[in-house]
Structures are given as structure tokens and as C-alpha cells.
Structure 1
Amino acid sequence: MTTEKLTFSGHAGDDLAARLDMPEGPHLATALFAHCFTCGADIPAARRIARRLAAMGIAVLRFDFTGLGHSAGEFENTTFSSNVDDLVLAAQALEARGMAPSLLIGHSLGGAAVLRAAPRIPSSRAVVTLGAPYDPGHIAHNFDDALDRIDAEGYATVDLGGRHFRIGRDFIADIAGERLEPELGHLKRALLVMHAPRDCVVGLENATRIFTAARHPKSFVTLDKADHLITAPADAEYAAGVIAAWAARYLDLRPPAPPPGVPEGVTRVVESDPGGFLQDVSAGPWHHALADEPKAYGGTNRGMSPYQFVAAGLGACTSMTIRMYARRKGWPLDHVQVDVTHDKVHAQDCTHCTEADKLDRFTRLIRLDGPLTGAQRVRLMEIADRCPVHRTLEHSARIETRLNDEGAKAAPERETG
């Protein structure tokens, strides 16, 4: 994805800093992300969700609320209602660019904010909450010991996760008066509630109340052992994958026709983890997979290795070709299974192989179930070798490689001599 930095005016006229993550390919929809209380737009979970959505053609706007991160203004003068106003203004800024958001995602208090903002964003069709409180006033327990001082003096500095923030009396009064139940009952948008049972900041009972109060279509997905900030990469990856799969059912994702001469479209592979080998593999907005390496070779084993993808293509093509032939002949083939193995380890190709060993060998074990005759089985095994992928691998293919430096960031040139 490519990221564009931009600003828009918040509820008090302050410039709010935003990041617009754009797909490398066609732009099919737009999402608006609201971060957690006192967090910022660049927390790891937000970045991972943005990358995953961008891979399927959904642009994502992440921004820092007033007084946080790179946004101007004073945090102590903000309220929950002003955060909702900032969300609506962010949606309007997107609409002005012809990118009105159809998907709203909110983390923690940001989840409560998107629920409140959704009726004021006409373009929104689906809402996702991550660890969101049912009652915005729930977050006041984080600074219970400062409430008397805030009430008496108007403001107080509180320690939240090792960072200090000034909380104002207006903020406390605002969240105390907030009730989400009316909005939830008339949301009229698809809702996905995601929450971790072990969340010690916002208890699971909040998710239960949100889900119960909302009407269908609604879904509930547990984040298992994730913490409130979804800091573990595997948890962030899981959340991103679920959101992407769920959103595809409710957003109008219509990819353009594939380029001339490329009937199957473009398969895009995007690096997900520069510190490892995890890759996002996308073929249009609906088909997604992860590629990785085993842990023994520096990967995280969260996806198939490159050679496993090649083996999968060979196995799938073999099974399809056999089925197509048997169907045309009307033969009683009940089921096909193809096991494919490859006799070299991808990470060792260039370091431990001799010149004579560089021939890749794939082995197929084909199972044909059904009352077939011996002659029919022999013929279907012959047909297996006519699989297009088999022929491509057997006869080799021509690979053309070109550099795409459009929008790439180059290092500054150094003087020599």
C-alpha cells in the first residue's frame, strides 16, 4: 500500500493529522479507523488492519484525534462528543475527495465513537468494534483517584499506561451522560463486534451488551488471548483477516475488468513483516492468503511457503483436470484427492544444492474414489499429465521481470569522486 499524509479541520478548527493508506491496485471502497482513548493512529493493530484492507482494494483513513499524536489542539479540552464530531469531519473530508467511507472501524473508546457517529455518516454500511465499551463512562475507572480533583479544579493530570494526560471536567461529564443503546437499536448497518475474553481494560460484558442491543445483521468474534491493545502480531493478523473477510460480505466491492491479455487478473504479493518473511497474497478483493517461511528459517510459519503454493497450484489443477474429463465422459468418479510433495526446502535452494541437484521434483499421489473400471483409472491418470500447470512446470516457463518504480522512495544520491 502507499500512504499519503494529509490534514483536515477538526471540531475546534485545529488541523488534525491523518494517514490515508491506499491500495496499490484499484480502489474499491474506503474505511475510516478510530483509535483507542489516548492512543494514536499508528498503533500496530491499526497498521496491520490497514495493510490487510488495502490489499483487497479498501483505502483506510487513520487520524489522530484533537490534541493527540501529530494533531493540533488541546486534548484536555476534548470530550467524547468532540471525538465523534472529529470522526464525522474526517468522513466529510474523505467524501470531498470522492472517497466517502462505507466501513467504520473503532478500537476501544474509538469503537463507541464509531457507533455514535455511524448515523451521521450516510455512506457507512458496516461498523466494526474492537474491545469497545458499551458505556463510554466505563473508561473513567482508569483515573478514579483523580475524579475528585477534576471535579474541584476543572482538570487533573493522570497517568495512563506510563503517559501523562490532562483530563478535563467536561470530558467526565460528557462520558457520564452518554448512552449507546438508542443508536445500537437503530444502527441500520451491519455490525461486527470483536473482543478478547481476557481484556482487563474493557471487560467482555461490554461486548455482550453491544451485541445484544444491536439488531441483525450482526456478528460476534472472540479475540481469544489478545490484550486490549491487540499488541501481539498474530492477534493483529487474525483481527485483520476476520475484518477483511466479514467486510467483503457487506461492501459493494466491484473490481474493474482484468488488463488485456491477463484473463485471471493480477496476483499481488505485498510484504507484511519487513523483519521476517510474512507476505499478503491477494488475487482481487475476495481471494487472500498468507505466505511465510517455517520458524526454522526465520519466518513465523503463518502461511504456506512459496514451494507449497506451487505444489497447491499443481494439485488443484490436477484434480480439476481429472474431474473435468470424468464429468465429460460421464464416468462414476465420486471423489479426487491429490497429495503433492516437493523434495527440496525453499530456504536451502541456493546454499546447499549442487549444480546437478537443481532439478525440482514434485511427486503426486492421486486417489480416485468411485466404481471406475481399471481402464478408466489408467485413462484418468494419463489425463492428470495434461493438467496445464503440470505442463508449465514440466516444460518450464518464461518469466519476464520489470521494475515498477512509480511512487517508490529512492535513497538520495551520494556524490562520488
Structure 2
Amino acid sequence: MTSEKFTFAGHAGHMLAARLDMPNGTPRAVALFAHCFTCSKEIVAARRLASGLADNGIAVLRFDFTGLGHSEGAFETTTFSSNVADLHAAAAELDRRGLTPTLLIGHSLGGAAVLRAAPDMPSIKGVVTIGAPADPGHVTHNFGAALASIAEHGVAEVQLGGRPLNIGQGFVDDVAAANLQPALAKLNAALLVLHAPRDHVVGIENAGEIFLGAKHPKSFVTLDDADHLLSKPADAAYAVDVITTWSRRYLPAPVETQVAKAPEGTLRVTETSPDSFAQTIQVGDHTMVADEPVKVGGTNTGPTPYGLVSAGLGACTSMTIRMYARRKGWPVDGISVDVDHGKCHASDSKAGNKIDCFTRTIHLTGDLDDEQKARLLEIADKCPVHKTLERTNEVVTKLG
């Protein structure tokens, strides 16, 4: 992963501080991230989400809204609508760089902002909200007694997150008038709602309102006991895993990764781009991904080639056992197969050469006696992939 700092002009011409986290090789998607109210692009959750998504092949632009973090401008002059306008400016900057965004991700009030912005961004195919309010005016609950002072003086200092910030009447009026329902109704993108039931800052009922207001395709995934700011590394990592998996269904692959359908009976593997190790695997109507770990130059978007070989052995072993148990009527309630791949010394090799070794550990559940278990262990060795791996094979290579 590489990270680049730069600035771009926001809605009012102020220079906004941004950071672009890029995966190794060509990104399979480009995301624009909107941080939480009064936060910045460097908040822990934003950093962890961006780096995690970049490790999974998704480029992420995060930036400081006008008047926050390292961006220019006075925060007290901004509004919810100006935040949405800053998002449009950020999307235009990505487009100028040849990285047109297809995914919007918003945290807290940033989630409300991406919902408002998405219908006016034709390139967006997926929207993710994290702990977002269904009513942007929800944030004014944090202003307390300062609301009266803001109304009287036009601007007042409010303590938020242990630090003072000046809030203007324009923000209060604008956020109170904001209504997400029309934007949700016009949302022409898949929606993923992430929310924690124990979020004490933005209650879980907000997730329900957002979900019900949107059209399909839409998904909701709970963040369990995560706090509002996703301060625990495990919670941010879980959000990354969910977004990564979900996005593969709804975000189109870049043009160079789209694969012409292979002839019937042929498995076709096509590289994602010349700059990465990621591969798109097409088997009939099914598509998979292969890659290498980040530590060896990959982007970790899928299992390694040897991982796929091990998967074939494990799947075939389980299927073979199930077919036999089904035919015998034996009470096998569940089967799982662990496969470990490594190198071991060939017993008949005078030169001490090493060969590939696949170690299977078979887990069976059900009311089976020792004799049945032993027989099923023998049946595992009759797995066709097992037999293929143990035979001497030949690979014929030709140019197409």
C-alpha cells in the first residue's frame, strides 16, 4: 500500500487536506470516505478502514471537511450542505486523477452526507454507512444549552469530544432542515448499513430508518458491541472484511479485469492487471479470485494458488465422505477438512529432494462408532483429487 498527501479546492475554494491510500497494483474499486462530525481524516477508525481496504485492493480517498483537521476555512461558516458539496469536490478531484469513485463510505454524520450526495454521483455503485443518523439534525443534541447562545449571537462555542468548536446558526438551521428520505428514495446504488446495537451516540433505530427508507439492493450488518468511533482494532477490521466481501457483489470490476466467458468445460484465469498478482478465475457461471499475500507483493484479495489446490483436495475429500455416508445411511451430522500444505523429504530420494506434502485432518460429527470412523478415513483416500495429486501427472502447454 502507498499513501499520498495532497490538497484540492473545496466547495468555497478553500484548500482541503486529503490522503489517498492506494493498493499495490491497479485498484479494483475506488472509495471516497467521509469522516464523522468534527472529526478528521486521521481519526483512528478512518486510518484503519482506509489501510485495510487498500490492502484488499480498494483505493480510498479521505479528506478533512472545510475548517477541520488540516483543511483551510472556518468551521463555524460550514453547514451539512457544504459538507455534501465538499464530497462532490473530492469526487471531482478523484475523477481528474483518473480514479472515478464507485464507492462512498460515511461514518456517523459523514454517513448521512454520503447518502445525500450519492444520488447526484452517477459513478457511485455502492454506499456504506457506519453508525449514521437517519436525521442529520440528530447532532444538535450534543449542543445542549449552547443552542440558545447560538440563536442569540449567531455563533457560539460548543464542547465536543473534549475540545471547543464554534458552531454557527447556519449549520443548526441547515442540519435541522435536512431530510434524507428523498435521497434514499433516489439512491441508485447498493446500500450497506453497518451499525452497533450498543451505539450510545447514534442509536440503532437510525439504522432501521435508513434501511427501510432505501430500495433494494440493501443490506444491514450489526457491529455487535463496537463503540460509535470503532476504537477497537478488531471492530474496524471486521468492518473492512464486511465491506470488502459485500463490495465484490455490487461493484463492477475495472475494464481490464472483465473476462470474456470461457468455452464450456474450460477454466479460464485472467490477471487483474500487469501491476498486480491478482487473478480472476472463471469456471462456468462461477467467478473466483486468486492472489498473493501483501508481504510478497500481492494485494491479498483471494487465496494463493496453493491455497486453491488445498481447497480442491479438502472439498473433494468432504464430498467423497458424504457420498459414502449417505449411501450407507450412517449418522454423519457434519464434515470439515483441514488441509496443511508444505514441503517434506521424499523417502526414496537419494539426493534428499523435497516434495509437496498435503496433511488432511478430518473432523466428523455424529453418533459414529470407531469402526465407522476408520472406514470413512479409508474412504477419504479414494477422493479423486487425492488420487490425482498422488499420481505422476503431465501438463501440456500451448499458445492460444
TM category (shorter chain) comes to 0.7 to 0.9
Q: Evaluate the alpha carbon distance shift between residue 153 and residue 101 of structure 1 in structure 2; reply closer, same or farther with a 3 A threshold.
A: same
Q: Evaluate the alpha carbon distance shift between residue 96 and residue 118 of structure 1 in structure 2; reply closer, same or farther with a 3 A threshold.
A: same
Kindly report which structure 2 residues correspond to 1:74-223, keeping only aligned pairs within 5 A, or say none: 74-223=74-223
Shift in Å, 1:103:
0.5
Q: Contact 1:106–1:130 at 8 Å: present in 2 too?
A: yes
Structure 2 equivalent of residue 396 of structure 1: none
Q: What TM-score do the two structures reach when normalised by structure 1?
A: 0.70
Equivalent position SS for 1:253:
coil
Shift in Å, 1:381:
4.6
Q: Contact 1:311–1:341 at 8 Å: present in 2 too?
A: no
**Within 2, Cα distance between the matches of 1:166 and 1:38?**
10
Shift in Å, 1:95:
0.7
Structure 1 equivalent of residue 313 of structure 2: 317
Q: Evaluate the alpha carbon distance shift between residue 10 and residue 365 of structure 1 in structure 2; reply closer, same or farther with a 3 A threshold.
A: closer
Shift in Å, 1:318:
5.5
Equivalent position SS for 1:37:
coil
**Within 1, Cα distance between the matches of 2:161 and 2:141?**
13
Equivalent position SS for 1:27:
coil
Equivalent position SS for 2:208:
helix
Structure 1 equivalent of residue 294 of structure 2: 270
Query: Which consecutive unaligned segments of at least 5 residues does structure 2 have?
Result: 259-269, 282-288, 341-356, 365-371, 393-400
Equivalent position SS for 1:215:
coil
Kindly report which structure 2 residues correspond to 1:371-410, keeping only aligned pairs within 5 A, or say none: 380-381=381-382, 386=387, 388=389
Q: Evaluate the alpha carbon distance shift between residue 288 and residue 134 of structure 1 in structure 2; reply closer, same or farther with a 3 A threshold.
A: farther
Q: Evaluate the alpha carbon distance shift between residue 318 and residue 83 of structure 1 in structure 2; reply closer, same or farther with a 3 A threshold.
A: closer
Letter in 1 for 2:185: G
Shift in Å, 1:333:
10
Q: Evaluate the alpha carbon distance shift between residue 43 and residue 320 of structure 1 in structure 2; reply closer, same or farther with a 3 A threshold.
A: same
Structure 2 equivalent of residue 9 of structure 1: 9
Equivalent position SS for 1:105:
strand
Shift in Å, 1:232:
0.9
Shift in Å, 1:317:
2.4
Letter in 1 for 2:71: S
**Within 2, Cα distance between the matches of 1:54 and 1:288?**
17
Shift in Å, 1:268:
2.9
Q: What TM-score do the two structures reach when normalised by structure 2?
A: 0.73
Structure 1 equivalent of residue 352 of structure 2: none
Shift in Å, 1:25:
2.2
Letter in 2 for 1:143: F
Q: Contact 1:321–1:386 at 8 Å: present in 2 too?
A: no
**Within 2, Cα distance between the matches of 1:208 and 1:55?**
31
Structure 2 equivalent of residue 250 of structure 1: 250
Shift in Å, 1:45:
2.0
Equivalent position SS for 1:39:
coil
Q: Contact 2:194–2:220 at 8 Å: present in 1 too?
A: yes
Q: Contact 1:133–1:202 at 8 Å: present in 2 too?
A: yes
Q: Contact 1:52–1:280 at 8 Å: present in 2 too?
A: no
Structure 2 equivalent of residue 28 of structure 1: 28
* 1:178-226 CA-partner distances (Å, limit 9, x unpaired): 1111111121211111111111111111111111111111111111111
RMSD: 4.0
Equivalent position SS for 1:228:
coil
Q: Evaluate the alpha carbon distance shift between residue 41 and residue 280 of structure 1 in structure 2; reply closer, same or farther with a 3 A threshold.
A: farther
Q: Contact 1:280–1:288 at 8 Å: present in 2 too?
A: no
The count of residues paired between Structure 1 and Structure 2 equals 339
Percent identical among aligned pairs is 51
Structure 2 equivalent of residue 69 of structure 1: 69
Q: Contact 1:321–1:387 at 8 Å: present in 2 too?
A: no
Equivalent position SS for 2:148:
helix
Equivalent position SS for 2:249:
coil
Shift in Å, 1:266:
6.3
Equivalent position SS for 1:123:
coil
Shift in Å, 1:310:
8.5
